[in-house]
Protein backbone atom coordinates (compact mmCIF):
# COMPACT_ATOMS: atom_id res chain seq x y z
CA UNK A 1 0.00 0.00 0.00
CA UNK A 2 1.54 3.31 -1.10
CA UNK A 3 1.83 6.49 0.94
CA UNK A 4 -1.24 8.19 -0.53
CA UNK A 5 -3.37 5.13 0.12
CA UNK A 6 -2.09 4.95 3.69
CA UNK A 7 -2.96 8.60 4.29
CA UNK A 8 -6.38 8.03 2.75
CA UNK A 9 -6.94 5.07 5.04
CA UNK A 10 -6.08 7.16 8.08
CA UNK A 11 -8.39 9.95 6.90
CA UNK A 12 -11.27 7.55 6.30
CA UNK A 13 -10.67 6.05 9.72
CA UNK A 14 -10.86 9.45 11.41
CA UNK A 15 -14.11 10.25 9.59
CA UNK A 16 -15.54 6.97 10.86
CA UNK A 17 -14.23 7.79 14.34
CA UNK A 18 -15.96 11.18 14.34
CA UNK A 19 -19.28 9.60 13.34
CA UNK A 20 -18.77 6.89 15.94
CA UNK A 21 -18.21 9.57 18.59
CA UNK A 22 -21.58 11.15 17.73
CA UNK A 23 -23.23 7.72 18.04
CA UNK A 24 -21.56 7.00 21.38
CA UNK A 25 -22.27 10.38 22.99
CA UNK A 26 -25.88 10.70 21.81
CA UNK A 27 -26.50 7.05 22.67
CA UNK A 28 -25.23 7.46 26.22
CA UNK A 29 -27.41 10.53 26.63
CA UNK A 30 -30.70 9.27 25.18
CA UNK A 31 -30.48 5.58 26.11
CA UNK A 32 -28.94 5.82 29.57
CA UNK A 33 -29.02 9.30 31.11
CA UNK A 34 -32.46 10.55 30.02
CA UNK A 35 -34.41 7.41 31.08
CA UNK A 36 -32.67 7.48 34.46
CA UNK A 37 -33.88 11.04 35.06
CA UNK A 38 -37.32 11.29 33.47
CA UNK A 39 -39.07 8.30 35.07
CA UNK A 40 -42.03 6.29 33.81
CA UNK A 41 -44.92 8.47 34.96
CA UNK A 42 -46.13 11.79 33.56
CA UNK A 43 -45.56 13.66 36.83
CA UNK A 44 -41.93 12.51 36.94
CA UNK A 45 -41.33 13.26 33.26
CA UNK A 46 -43.03 16.68 33.55
CA UNK A 47 -40.33 17.76 35.99
CA UNK A 48 -37.77 17.08 33.25
CA UNK A 49 -39.80 17.93 30.15
CA UNK A 50 -36.90 19.70 28.47
CA UNK A 51 -34.67 16.69 29.08
CA UNK A 52 -37.36 14.41 27.66
CA UNK A 53 -37.43 16.47 24.44
CA UNK A 54 -33.64 16.56 24.29
CA UNK A 55 -33.56 12.78 24.57
CA UNK A 56 -35.76 12.44 21.49
CA UNK A 57 -33.59 14.89 19.55
CA UNK A 58 -30.45 13.03 20.60
CA UNK A 59 -31.97 9.71 19.52
CA UNK A 60 -32.76 11.13 16.07
CA UNK A 61 -29.20 12.47 15.76
CA UNK A 62 -27.87 9.08 16.80
CA UNK A 63 -29.88 7.35 14.08
CA UNK A 64 -28.56 9.69 11.38
CA UNK A 65 -24.96 9.17 12.52
CA UNK A 66 -25.47 5.42 12.83
CA UNK A 67 -26.79 5.28 9.27
CA UNK A 68 -23.66 7.02 8.00
CA UNK A 69 -21.16 5.19 10.24
CA UNK A 70 -21.16 1.75 8.55
CA UNK A 71 -20.68 3.37 5.13
CA UNK A 72 -17.64 5.22 6.52
CA UNK A 73 -16.31 1.96 7.96
CA UNK A 74 -16.95 0.25 4.62
CA UNK A 75 -14.35 2.57 3.06
CA UNK A 76 -11.87 1.39 5.68
CA UNK A 77 -12.51 -2.36 5.42
CA UNK A 78 -13.92 -3.07 1.94
CA UNK A 79 -10.57 -4.23 0.57
CA UNK A 80 -10.16 -6.66 3.47
CA UNK A 81 -13.29 -8.60 2.60
CA UNK A 82 -16.03 -6.96 0.56
CA UNK A 83 -18.67 -9.52 1.51
CA UNK A 84 -18.15 -9.05 5.24
CA UNK A 85 -18.02 -5.26 4.85
CA UNK A 86 -21.29 -5.29 2.90
CA UNK A 87 -22.91 -7.48 5.56
CA UNK A 88 -21.72 -5.04 8.24
CA UNK A 89 -23.40 -2.15 6.41
CA UNK A 90 -26.63 -4.07 5.81
CA UNK A 91 -27.05 -5.23 9.42
CA UNK A 92 -26.38 -1.76 10.82
CA UNK A 93 -28.65 -0.01 8.33
CA UNK A 94 -31.58 -2.35 9.08
CA UNK A 95 -31.67 -1.11 12.68
CA UNK A 96 -32.24 2.54 11.70
CA UNK A 97 -35.86 2.33 10.44
CA UNK A 98 -36.67 0.08 13.40
CA UNK A 99 -35.26 2.70 15.78
CA UNK A 100 -37.12 5.52 14.03
CA UNK A 101 -40.42 3.66 14.31
CA UNK A 102 -39.69 3.00 17.98
CA UNK A 103 -39.02 6.66 18.78
CA UNK A 104 -42.43 7.66 17.40
CA UNK A 105 -43.88 6.06 20.55
CA UNK A 106 -41.68 8.30 22.66
CA UNK A 107 -42.94 11.27 20.66
CA UNK A 108 -46.50 10.14 21.41
CA UNK A 109 -45.54 10.06 25.09
CA UNK A 110 -44.25 13.64 24.73
CA UNK A 111 -47.62 14.70 23.29
CA UNK A 112 -49.38 13.16 26.30
CA UNK A 113 -46.93 14.91 28.62
CA UNK A 114 -47.65 18.29 27.03
CA UNK A 115 -51.41 17.74 27.00
CA UNK A 116 -51.96 16.23 30.44
CA UNK A 117 -49.31 18.09 32.43
CA UNK A 118 -48.11 17.13 35.90
CA UNK A 119 -51.64 16.48 37.27
CA UNK A 120 -52.51 13.76 34.80
CA UNK A 121 -55.41 11.35 35.28
CA UNK A 122 -54.76 7.66 35.74
CA UNK A 123 -55.82 6.97 32.15
CA UNK A 124 -53.23 9.44 30.84
CA UNK A 125 -50.55 7.89 33.02
CA UNK A 126 -51.49 4.45 31.72
CA UNK A 127 -51.31 5.66 28.11
CA UNK A 128 -47.95 7.34 28.82
CA UNK A 129 -46.54 4.13 30.32
CA UNK A 130 -47.83 2.13 27.34
CA UNK A 131 -46.06 4.46 24.90
CA UNK A 132 -42.79 4.03 26.78
CA UNK A 133 -43.30 0.26 26.85
CA UNK A 134 -43.79 0.18 23.06
CA UNK A 135 -40.69 2.31 22.67
CA UNK A 136 -38.77 -0.19 24.76
CA UNK A 137 -40.02 -3.10 22.68
CA UNK A 138 -38.87 -1.33 19.52
CA UNK A 139 -35.45 -0.75 21.04
CA UNK A 140 -35.18 -4.43 21.90
CA UNK A 141 -35.67 -5.38 18.25
CA UNK A 142 -33.26 -2.67 17.09
CA UNK A 143 -30.67 -3.85 19.62
CA UNK A 144 -30.62 -7.26 17.95
CA UNK A 145 -29.13 -5.58 14.89
CA UNK A 146 -26.95 -3.32 17.07
CA UNK A 147 -25.33 -6.58 18.09
CA UNK A 148 -25.35 -8.42 14.77
CA UNK A 149 -23.48 -5.71 12.86
CA UNK A 150 -20.64 -5.91 15.40
CA UNK A 151 -19.90 -9.50 14.38
CA UNK A 152 -18.66 -8.76 10.82
CA UNK A 153 -17.14 -5.48 12.03
CA UNK A 154 -15.15 -7.26 14.72
CA UNK A 155 -14.13 -10.02 12.30
CA UNK A 156 -12.81 -7.41 9.84
CA UNK A 157 -10.80 -5.79 12.63
CA UNK A 158 -9.37 -9.16 13.69
CA UNK A 159 -8.43 -10.08 10.13
CA UNK A 160 -6.94 -6.76 9.09
CA UNK A 161 -5.41 -5.31 12.27
CA UNK A 162 -6.38 -1.84 11.05
CA UNK A 163 -7.26 -1.02 14.61
CA UNK A 164 -5.96 -3.08 17.55
CA UNK A 165 -7.14 -6.66 17.29
CA UNK A 166 -8.11 -6.76 20.98
CA UNK A 167 -10.86 -4.29 20.07
CA UNK A 168 -12.02 -6.66 17.33
CA UNK A 169 -12.29 -9.45 19.88
CA UNK A 170 -14.33 -7.21 22.20
CA UNK A 171 -16.61 -6.25 19.30
CA UNK A 172 -17.30 -9.89 18.46
CA UNK A 173 -17.93 -10.80 22.10
CA UNK A 174 -20.09 -7.71 22.53
CA UNK A 175 -22.12 -8.49 19.41
CA UNK A 176 -22.78 -11.98 20.73
CA UNK A 177 -23.72 -10.40 24.08
CA UNK A 178 -26.34 -8.17 22.45
CA UNK A 179 -27.89 -11.17 20.71
CA UNK A 180 -27.82 -13.21 23.93
CA UNK A 181 -29.50 -10.39 25.84
CA UNK A 182 -32.29 -10.02 23.27
CA UNK A 183 -33.15 -13.72 23.20
CA UNK A 184 -32.34 -14.25 26.87
CA UNK A 185 -34.79 -11.49 27.74
CA UNK A 186 -37.59 -13.70 26.42
CA UNK A 187 -36.80 -16.38 29.03
CA UNK A 188 -37.98 -15.32 32.54
CA UNK A 189 -35.22 -16.88 34.63
CA UNK A 190 -32.50 -15.82 32.21
CA UNK A 191 -33.86 -12.28 31.90
CA UNK A 192 -33.68 -11.79 35.67
CA UNK A 193 -30.18 -13.22 36.08
CA UNK A 194 -27.30 -10.97 37.11
CA UNK A 195 -25.32 -12.14 34.08
CA UNK A 196 -27.62 -10.24 31.71
CA UNK A 197 -26.32 -7.00 33.18
CA UNK A 198 -22.78 -7.77 31.97
CA UNK A 199 -23.13 -9.47 28.58
CA UNK A 200 -23.01 -6.15 26.70
CA UNK A 201 -19.97 -4.84 28.56
CA UNK A 202 -17.49 -6.10 25.91
CA UNK A 203 -19.51 -4.19 23.29
CA UNK A 204 -19.25 -0.96 25.29
CA UNK A 205 -15.49 -1.38 25.71
CA UNK A 206 -14.98 -2.41 22.09
CA UNK A 207 -17.11 0.34 20.58
CA UNK A 208 -15.78 3.17 22.74
CA UNK A 209 -12.23 1.90 22.24
CA UNK A 210 -12.69 1.65 18.47
CA UNK A 211 -14.24 5.11 18.36
CA UNK A 212 -11.38 6.73 20.25
CA UNK A 213 -8.67 4.85 18.33
CA UNK A 214 -10.13 5.79 14.94
CA UNK A 215 -10.62 9.39 16.00
CA UNK A 216 -7.08 9.73 17.33
CA UNK A 217 -5.08 7.61 14.88
CA UNK A 218 -7.34 6.67 11.98
CA UNK A 219 -6.99 3.21 10.44
CA UNK A 220 -3.60 1.64 9.87
CA UNK A 221 -2.41 -0.83 7.27
CA UNK A 222 -2.07 -3.59 9.85
CA UNK A 223 0.79 -5.87 10.67
CA UNK A 224 0.02 -8.26 7.87
CA UNK A 225 -1.33 -5.69 5.42
CA UNK A 226 -4.67 -6.00 3.67
CA UNK A 227 -5.49 -9.02 1.49
CA UNK A 228 -6.14 -7.14 -1.72
CA UNK A 229 -7.33 -10.24 -3.60
CA UNK A 230 -10.50 -10.34 -1.47
CA UNK A 231 -11.96 -7.55 -3.62
CA UNK A 232 -12.75 -9.98 -6.35
pLDDT tens digit string along 6-45?
Answer: 888 999 999 999 999 999 999 999 999 998 887 777 877 8
Task: List Cβ neighbours of 114 (8 Å cut-off, separation of 6 or more).
Answer: 49
* C-alpha angle 68-144-156 in degrees, rounded to nearest 5: 55
Q: Whole-angstrom Cα distance, residue 149 to residue 4?
A: 29
Task: List Cβ neighbours of 105 (8 Å cut-off, separation of 6 or more).
Answer: 131, 132, 134, 135, 138
- Residue 120: the pLDDT is 65
Contact 12, 72 (CB under 8 A): yes
Q: Name the DSSP letter for residue 197.
A: G
Query: Which pTM was predicted?
Result: 0.89
In three-state form (DSSP H/G/I as H, E/B as E, the rest C), the secondary structure along 76-143 is: HHCCCCHHHHHHHHHHHHHHHHHHHHHHHHHHHHHHHHHHHCCCCCHHHHHHHHHHHHHHHHHHHHHH
> pLDDT band at residue 75, thresholds of 50, 70 and 90?
very high
Crossing angle of helices 150-160 and 122-148, rounded to 10°: 30
- Residue 117: the pLDDT is 63
Helix (H) or strand (E) holding 226: none
Q: Between these two residues, 226 and 147, which has the higher pLDDT value? A: 147
Amino acid sequence: MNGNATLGLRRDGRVAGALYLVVVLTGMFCLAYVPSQSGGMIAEAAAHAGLFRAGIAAFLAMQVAFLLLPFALYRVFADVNRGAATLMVALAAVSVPIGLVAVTHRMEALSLLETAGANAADSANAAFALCLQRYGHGLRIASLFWGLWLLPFGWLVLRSGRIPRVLGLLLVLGGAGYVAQVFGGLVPRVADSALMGYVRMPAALGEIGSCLWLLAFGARVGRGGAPQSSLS
